[in-house]
Structure 1
Amino acid sequence: MPKKGFREKLTDALIDEAAEEIMDIEEIERDDDAVDAVLDELADNISVIMECRRGDYSTIPKSDIWRNNILTTLDEDRFRQMLRVDRDQYNMLVDLIKNDEEFNKAHSCKQFSVELQLAITLFRLGSSGESAAFRKIATIFGVGDGETISLITKRIFRVFLRHQSKYIYWPNEVERSKIVSDTFDELPFCIGYIDGTEIKLAESPIEDHTSYFSRNHIYSIKAQIVCDYKRVIRHVVVGHPGSWHDARKNRNSSLFQQNDQYFSSQQWIAGDSAYPLSATLIAPYRSNARQLDRNA
């Protein structure tokens, strides 16, 4: 086994020290800002080490240091904050995709482990601003900061998209009838619940950035999701600009434009007051400032 060089020993020491600091913070004060500061300092220190070898040096050594030395030591709350899933969910996702042909292509060069690629993608999806910078993610995970992260993200996306129809699908007529039967005493003929959310973008889009600036004062894309009474997601629309209103998203969705393919007679979904009433979507009454107080 080759001996570790000075830079590698120094990097390992910094990582060990950062891991200890994070564990101490978690045990004493559970301060997210303090943990982020430790990670920022670690990333900066490693960047300096990598750039100071006989002049210019910008290549980051490829390794699973983060996954092996830090990720495994985090408690459940910190793990979930870093990757947006808990350990059981993470392991389930690994088992789901690890045998996909995308990771075993004959013409493909040697890839990082599936576990590391998934962790990088989840971390990136849960980051924004400075935390989402390629250079910072590359430094934290020990991978190249060129096209590597982009390639890994696209690869993981392709794999999950192949599984999409197994987990997100609209209930057929038989299943819709069963949902109606199970919930008839609560909301007769209701087969689902619709709402909108937004997905924050890491940075401002280059083109038409004003359209992606939402009322929450962030750059985002909108998502519209329908779930059933068991909280199982049954329909998703993603990609509209952050400035779009929920009602506009709905008007442009297949649920509205092709409702005869999604609903049988009298069936409907429930939404909040942001949605207009229709034959297949019922929302609560909007508050009316001019309405008289019944107790007056």
Structure 2
Amino acid sequence: MEALVQLRDYERQIDLARAFNPRIRILRDRTNPLEMFDESQFRRRFRLSKESTRDLARMLEPNLRKDTRGAGLTVLMQLLIALRFYASGSFHIITGDFFRIHESTVCRVVKGVSRAIAMLKRRFIYFPRREQHPQIAARFSELSRSNFPGIIGAIDCTHIPIVAPSHQEAQRYYNRKHFYSVNCQVVCDADMHITNIVARWPGSTHDSRIFRNSVIHNELEQGRYDGHLIGDSGYACKKYLLTPVLQERNAAERRYNIAHRQARNVVERVFGIWKRRFPCLQYTLRTKIPTTQLVIIATSILHNYAIRRGEPEFEDEEIPNENENHVGLPDERDNMTGVNWRNQIINMHFA
């Protein structure tokens, strides 16, 4: 009987606690990482220096005024969350990190910040003007260790891994390396600035098709630029895009191929520096395709931004060379104008 009375008293106390227990406020940790870490620790986590991060936040402020402010996040804090994602490729790490915010908020922030950075594209990614072409060609000539004339850019594509899309066209994103990806076309100059980027094609799309359907191809076709790009054997040989000689017949063609390879190697270095600075591009991006495209564009802009600011490179890990042991699928659209122009350059400068 006494035990029954104690049990009823206990149940009554529980009911009273449930009736009068106030809502518990959860205090979230908004500690500023700029104050928490020294310069080296900060760079390792956010891939930029503190000064560059502050300046970038000021640039983004007009574009981020309406994005995710409801979560109580400042522009600087939003930028730090996005940079942490670019450095880790994981929403889970961020939610368990010092930010202490929900994963859905992280997703909104990454998308909003990536969109805001992408709006700076014309400011940081643009193809050089005609008057700059002689200087660019001279820099490429130094890279090739020869008098290879007229190079105004190196072009190649790289695959950014993604999770398998859920829509019906998912198979289009399955590439020749047997994983899902976005095939991203990049043109760069001799100083490793990205001067043109296309990041909207599924991984199964051939490099040459991406180029033929790009704005830079149309501008080159119309003769808006003086000079030519250099690309691998997966592209068609054109007067404005020179490719290697597949079957060398003499010493001049061999010297041409060596110079071509040395000059074109700069775009491979760009891929390595870009992906080491922002490892989310190496890991599988677990975002929807539109957000993935925004992340690719945003990190390419930040790549140029880091170079302009003199940010040191990252040497964390080796990036696999996608073109290793891969000759490419030659585009059969070579025309006599392109081949003749290549032969003329070989005879004039490498014979």
Q: TM-score range by the shorter chain?
A: 0.5 to 0.7
SS of corresponding position for 2:122: helix
The residue correspondences of 1:96-245 to structure 2 (distance < 5 A) are: 96-98=56-58, 100-105=61-66, 108-109=69-70, 111-128=72-89, 132=90, 134-140=91-97, 141-146=99-104, 148-180=105-137, 183=140, 186-201=147-162, 203-207=163-167, 208-245=169-206
Report the AA paired with residue 144 of structure 1. Answer: H
Rounded to whole Å, the distance in 2 between the matches of 1:206 and 1:228 is 37
Rounded to whole Å, the distance in 2 between the matches of 1:120 and 1:282 is 42
Rounded to whole Å, the distance in 2 between the matches of 1:154 and 1:109 is 15
Rounded to whole Å, the distance in 1 between the matches of 2:160 and 2:67 is 36
CA deviation after TM superposition for structure 1 residue 106, in Å = 11
Pair 1:63-2:29 in alignment: yes
User: Structure 1 pair 74/243, CA: closer, same or farther in 2 (3 Å)?
Assistant: farther
Report the AA paired with residue 180 of structure 1. Answer: A
Give the % identical residues. 26
CA deviation after TM superposition for structure 1 residue 281, in Å = 0.6
Aligned to 1:20: none
Rounded to whole Å, the distance in 2 between the matches of 1:170 and 1:152 is 30
The structure with the largest alpha-carbon Rg is 2
Matched-pair contact (CA < 8 Å) for 1:247–1:274: yes
CA deviation after TM superposition for structure 1 residue 279, in Å = 1.9
RMSD: 3.4
List per-residue Cα deviations over 1:50-107 (Å, max 9, x = no partner): xxxxxxxxx98632359379x727955x954x54x2x42x641431233522344599
Matched-pair contact (CA < 8 Å) for 2:64–2:116: no
CA deviation after TM superposition for structure 1 residue 252, in Å = 1.7
Report the AA paired with residue 142 of structure 1. Answer: R
User: Structure 1 pair 123/218, CA: closer, same or farther in 2 (3 Å)?
Assistant: farther
User: Structure 1 pair 231/107, CA: closer, same or farther in 2 (3 Å)?
Assistant: closer
Q: Specify every segment of 5 or more residues in structure 1 that has no aligned partner in the other structure, as ranges.
A: 1-58, 289-296
Greater Cα shift, 96-105 or 215-224: 96-105
Given the alignment, which residue of 206, 217, 222 partners 1:256?
Answer: 217
Matched-pair contact (CA < 8 Å) for 2:67–2:109: no
Rounded to whole Å, the distance in 2 between the matches of 1:210 and 1:139 is 34
User: Structure 1 pair 105/205, CA: closer, same or farther in 2 (3 Å)?
Assistant: closer
List per-residue Cα deviations over 1:243-267 (Å, max 9, x = no partner): 22222221221222332456435x1
Question: Runs of at least 4 residues of structure 1 off by over 6 A?
Answer: none
SS of corresponding position for 1:273: coil
Larger relative contact order (Cα-Cα within 8 Å, sequence gap ≥ 6) = 2
Rounded to whole Å, the distance in 2 between the matches of 1:142 and 1:106 is 19
CA deviation after TM superposition for structure 1 residue 109, in Å = 3.3
User: Structure 1 pair 287/243, CA: closer, same or farther in 2 (3 Å)?
Assistant: farther
Matched-pair contact (CA < 8 Å) for 1:240–1:249: yes
